[in-house]
Chain A
Amino acid sequence: MYKIAVLGDRDSIYGFAALGLEVFPVSNGDEGAHTLRRLSEQDYAVVYVTEALAEEIPGEIERCRESLMPAVIPIPGVHGNTGMGLNMVKRSVEQAVGSDIIFNGN
């Protein structure tokens, strides 16, 4: 049985607590990287990370990319959408196909 975590600045994620997800408010990138590393070693199947935080810790996100669990998924925070989530999809396409054929460069 696995759990779901939500990681990010407090304002963006407190709503998820009501749904029954586990929220981990962090205030800066270092703390976020630490928490993500700790979570990836535990029984978490999915970790949602706010895009703002995800941009600060690309190393940790990359580390989780090739392992089966957890799935680290960027979500937009309260400060808006940075397009980082779609960029990650784009990167997958580029990695697999060699060039971006889904988004056509935009």
Chain B
Amino acid sequence: MASKQITPTRMELTRLKKKLVTATRGHKLLKDKRDELMRQFLEKVRENKALREQVEAGIKAANKNFLLARAGMQDQVLNTAMLAPKQRVSVEAGMENVMSVEIPTFDFKTRTPDQNDIFSYGFAFTSSDLDGAVKSLADIFPDMLKLAEIEKSCQLMAVEIEKTRRRVNALEHVMIPELQANIKYISMKLDENERSTQIRLMKVKDMVLKEAHNYETF
């Protein structure tokens, strides 16, 4: 497994051991992060799906109403009616931190508090279908904003989960096994060196003794 050249020294061994401790800890932390993100993501994405279905149905109904309204009046009149909207929506955007993923929170504000300001036209020349259509769209709007918030969160979390999962896998299947193999290699090599030094010393001792006293040891 030792893919690149490593020097079998005691210093390298200490360094690798320290690295292994860090890697194991990092792996544990990232794994926890991934699990928690996944739990929250699944919760959010279920909500996202339900909300989307609801919003799509709402918009579909509103579109139907608009189609009816369009059919009942002249194009020019309709255009004039929609030309100058009275109401204006602005969004207050905040941040929420979920496991180091920044997800947005939206809060909308209307310029005027009057609910009827969505009707930007006099009622004399437009059909009542248009009022209904605009109202149905206004009713679905808070849900649409909620959908925007949740769907964006889901997208951001999905990206983060993918990244974290890659990191966890890289640590688990590449980094940590490689470090362990290298540590094993170095400690084996060091042991082997020690044994060979021992033997060499014994041999030398024998030779010296034999030369000095003609003395044999077994």
Q: Binding site of B, secondary structure by majority: helix, strand, loop or mixed? A: helix
Query: Would you give the 0/1 interface string for A15-51, flagging 1 where the beta carbon is closer than 8 Å to chain B?
Result: 1111111000000000000000000000001101000
Q: Are A20 and B118 touching (Cβ within 8 A)? A: yes
The yes or no answer to B30 lying at the interface (CB within 8 A) is no
Q: Are B82 and A18 touching (Cβ within 8 A)? A: yes
> Interface residue tally of chain B, by bracket?
35 or more
- With a cutoff of 8 Å between Cβ atoms, the chain B residues found around residue A46 in the complex are 91, 106, 145, 148
- With a cutoff of 8 Å between Cβ atoms, the chain A residues found around residue B67 in the complex are 78
A18 vs B110: C-alpha distance when bound (angstroms): 12
Q: Are B85 and A17 touching (Cβ within 8 A)? A: yes
The yes or no answer to B127 lying at the interface (CB within 8 A) is no
A78 vs B88: C-alpha distance when bound (angstroms): 23
Q: Are B55 and A93 touching (Cβ within 8 A)? A: no
Query: Would you give the 0/1 interface string for A45-73, flagging 1 where the beta carbon is closer than 8 Å to chain B?
Result: 11010000000000000000110110101
The yes or no answer to B48 lying at the interface (CB within 8 A) is yes
- Nearest to B141 among chain A residues (CB) is A19
Q: Are A102 and B56 touching (Cβ within 8 A)? A: no
Q: Are A71 and B151 touching (Cβ within 8 A)? A: yes
The yes or no answer to B158 lying at the interface (CB within 8 A) is yes
Q: Are B38 and A12 touching (Cβ within 8 A)? A: no
* Contacts A15-B134, A69-B104; A93 near B45 (Cβ below 8 A): yes
How far in angstroms is the closest Cβ of chain B from A18?
5
Most A C-beta atoms less than 10 A away, residue of B53, B104, B117, B118: B104
Q: Are B145 and A14 touching (Cβ within 8 A)? A: no
The stretch of B5-13, B58-66, B203-211 that contacts the partner chain: B58-66
Q: Are B45 and A66 touching (Cβ within 8 A)? A: no
The yes or no answer to B155 lying at the interface (CB within 8 A) is yes
- With a cutoff of 8 Å between Cβ atoms, the chain A residues found around residue B141 in the complex are 19
* Contacts A15-B66, A102-B49; A20 near B156 (Cβ below 8 A): no
- With a cutoff of 8 Å between Cβ atoms, the chain B residues found around residue A69 in the complex are 93, 104
Q: 9 tightest CB-CB pairs across the interface, nearest first?
A: A20-B87, A71-B152, A96-B158, A92-B158, A96-B161, A20-B89, A20-B88, A46-B148, A2-B91
Q: List 12 A-B contacts (CB under 8 A).
A: A4-B90, A19-B138, A46-B145, A69-B104, A71-B151, A73-B147, A75-B144, A81-B56, A89-B154, A96-B157, A96-B161, A97-B42
Q: A1-B90, A73-B148, A92-B45 are in contact. List 8 more A-B contacts (CB 8 A).
A: A1-B92, A4-B145, A19-B87, A46-B148, A76-B56, A93-B158, A96-B38, A96-B45
